Structure 1
Amino acid sequence: MKKIMVFILISCGLIITLTACNSKENTSIKIAEVTRSLFYAPQYVALEEGFFEEVGLDVELQTTWGGDKTMTALLSEGADMALVGAETSIYVYAQNSKDYAINFAQLTQTDGTFLVAKEPKPNFTWEDLKDTTFLGQRKGGMPQMVGEFVLKQHGINPQTDLDLQQNIEFANIPGAFVSGEAEYVQLFEPTASTFEKEGKGHIVASFGEESGHVPYTVYMTKQSFIDKNKADVEKFTRAIYKAQQWVETHTPEEIAQVIQPYFEDTELEMLTASIERYKSQASFATDPVLDKKEWNNLKKIMNEAGELPEDVPYEELVNTEIAEDVIRN
């Protein structure tokens, strides 16, 4: 009888132990993304394929629609991490913030916009932009700064050689182009390809191909968050790296099928075409390391746009230790 009781107690102990192990909750991480864009395909792959859960994280994603709103969410602790342009970390640093944002994982490495003309331009040259109305992006944001940088590379002064319009909110730019007088516009995918399919515009050039590598969209968090939660930041980076490698080794069709739940209003065919366009110009970073050459290219673009508040050292705002450890291990 005693042996039976001992066996039951041991069994119960094992059950309690196993239950306790299985009930261990994942760590919750709140992410603020600057916009919803298939440019961020690796992030949606990580979510849909369960890569975050594999490392013990529950990721809550919110779209904050704009760099200023995204950084406000991060700095006010409305989000633990932000997916936004690296330039925003420089703006925050220049305001003498005591707990500034640190870039720890890069997601995209080129500009993600395309030059779309209202009329067909089979023999397009950048000279065609002179004396036209160009609907650009928000002043001080990466799309607009890269846009101006590329125009200058082709001998076009954005302020004097064309009518540059920058007074339209990001979400309203596509509609303003269709209903307005602008002859050219700077658009992300899948809007650019959708416009082309519907006859509302024609893709004539890629700003990503023209501008070279730049830390266009990165994950950042406050230094205090890294100090307190470095293991979770490492886990997050590990999941993103796995997603980057997944995107690199899978076809546009396979990627589109996985991320379609985040773009329910876009046809699978259009998603596939847009992803293929981004893959062909190497827009998706294949690892999370933000290197110094890319950082210097960012500062050069900001400086030429007159938006670089100060020359912030790479070592001050970029943490590559976490990403490098993830890749090594």
Structure 2
Amino acid sequence: MQSFHLTATGHNLNYLPEYIARRHGFFQEQGLNVTVSIPTPWDGVLDALADGTADMALGGIWVPAMYRDRVTDYTVFAQIANRCPLALLRRGHQANFKLDDVAGKTVLMKSGGGASVGLFFKMLLRENNIDPRSVDYIQDLDGVMLGNLFEGGMGDYFVTDNLSARAMAERNPDISVGMEMVSQGDIPWSVYYRESATITPEVFDAHRRFCIGLGKGIEWVLKHDAESYRDELGELFPNIPVEVAITVTNTFRREGMWTTPTIPRHAFDRWQLGLADARLVKEPFAYEALVNEPATMA
């Protein structure tokens, strides 16, 4: 059995098929003993790639794009999350919420896990012809801190992960979910990558086998209603009410969070435009500049 170590930026519901693949033996079927570590702070994933203690990193594709031709070149070889796993919380339960309701208001956005939250939300505003400058942001604080402050009265809206948003709305009758962003189109939200210079034929073959196991994990999740493995969800996410985890999992299944390990070109191009508009990259990268997918060789 070949050791294969993953360094990840967090433990999230949108990574569920990977957890299922590990727990159900799909990686072992490919001869891989997959282990995981989550560094604090999250950018320790880059250190683990640099010193060779990790075979790959899991996180946002904006990092390989931002670093390309500036610091270190990374190659992306698969995705796990095909949609954005965020939600927008609001005060009250007004009907017919519209995204342009946020104009002129204050939006809290967690940033402890990187820049993805602000990048996506502002891109979504631009895509809907809403000037991001028409909104005030509080986004340089930890997500738990911002959640407590939002419940305490700070701001008008709060962008956080869907699971936390649903849990907050369940326990606080004065707060509701205005938008689940999983419904807002394809985007390669969470991807696997490695330093390009370290990829050998042997490494690429291990990536290929990892992608086969990951694909089986995705297929399993798509075939099984979350209610049928509530105990497993409870073990994976013990701090979230299991009914919330079940509801969000089934929403993700229905809305296209998980498809295949292959990154769709249209989704890649959409996110690259968003990163360029945010000035993280000078101009959008071509697909082949960042992506080399052994998933297509399964």
TM-score, structure 1 as length reference: 0.83
1:163 and 2:107 are equivalent in the alignment: no
Q: 1:156 Cα deviation (Å)?
A: 2.4
1:254 and 2:228 are equivalent in the alignment: yes
Report the CA distance shift for 1:127/1:234 in structure 2 as closer, same or farther (over 3 A): closer
Q: 1:235 Cα deviation (Å)?
A: 1.6
Report the CA distance shift for 1:231/1:126 in structure 2 as closer, same or farther (over 3 A): closer
1:101-116 matches, cutoff 5 A: 101-116=74-89
8 A Cα contact 1:67 1:84, kept in partner: no
Distance across 2 between alignment mates of 1:176 and 1:224: 44
**Aligned-partner SS, 1:51:** coil
8 A Cα contact 2:106 2:135, kept in partner: yes
1:1-329 matches, cutoff 5 A: 26-64=1-39, 68-97=43-72, 100-138=73-111, 141-159=115-133, 161-199=134-172, 201-210=175-184, 212-227=185-200, 228-284=202-258, 286-320=259-293, 322-326=294-298
Paired amino acid for 2:67: V
Paired residues, what number? 295
Q: 1:96 Cα deviation (Å)?
A: 4.2
Deviations 1:111-154 (A, max 9, x none): 11011113222232223212221002439722211100112233
Q: Which residue of 2 aligns with 1:22?
A: none
Larger Rg: 1
8 A Cα contact 2:83 2:187, kept in partner: yes
Paired amino acid for 2:63: T
Report the CA distance shift for 1:305/1:137 in structure 2 as closer, same or farther (over 3 A): farther
8 A Cα contact 1:67 1:88, kept in partner: no
Paired amino acid for 2:101: D
Q: 1:180 Cα deviation (Å)?
A: 4.6
Q: 1:204 Cα deviation (Å)?
A: 0.8
Deviations 1:5-50 (A, max 9, x none): xxxxxxxxxxxxxxxxxxxxx1111111111111111011011111
Distance across 2 between alignment mates of 1:94 and 1:169: 30
Q: 1:164 Cα deviation (Å)?
A: 1.1
**Aligned-partner SS, 1:296:** helix
Report the CA distance shift for 1:34/1:214 in structure 2 as closer, same or farther (over 3 A): same
Report the CA distance shift for 1:250/1:70 in structure 2 as closer, same or farther (over 3 A): same
Deviations 1:256-276 (A, max 9, x none): 433432212222212101111
8 A Cα contact 1:81 1:221, kept in partner: yes
Deviations 1:239-288 (A, max 9, x none): 1011011111111223543343221222221210111121221111x211
8 A Cα contact 1:138 1:169, kept in partner: yes
TM-score, structure 2 as length reference: 0.91
- Structure 1, unaligned stretches of length 5 or more? 1-25
8 A Cα contact 1:116 1:184, kept in partner: yes
Q: 1:67 Cα deviation (Å)?
A: 5.2
Identity, in percent, stands at: 22
**Aligned-partner SS, 1:94:** coil
Paired amino acid for 1:250: H
Q: 1:306 Cα deviation (Å)?
A: 2.5
Q: Which moved more, 1:119-128 or 1:189-198?
A: 119-128
Distance across 2 between alignment mates of 1:241 and 1:215: 15
Q: 1:309 Cα deviation (Å)?
A: 3.6
